[in-house]
Amino acid sequence: MFGKKKELPLPELPKEISSETTTIDNVKAKMDLVLTQLDSIRTEYAVLNERTKTIENLLREIMTLAKS
């Protein structure tokens, strides 16, 4: 289960690159996409944390009511 990491094959790069600027722009665009996805994940994580806190508070209230 926790053995060696499997090496994934690298995707094939295009044979011809029209210019270095285009490649740099592509990399920048992909990095922007990745950063946007990370921000989205952070937001989802924060929402889930808030939901968890709400559930924990509700459970505490239920336990308090059940004990009295």
DSSP characters over 8-30: PPPPPPPS--S-HHHHHHHHHHH
- pTM equals 0.56
How far apart are alpha carbons 46 and 67 in whole angstroms?
Answer: 32
What's the chain's length in residues? 68
Per the prediction, the chain carries an average pLDDT of 85
How far apart are alpha carbons 29 and 35 in whole angstroms?
Answer: 10
Q: What percent of the chain has pLDDT over 90?
A: 60
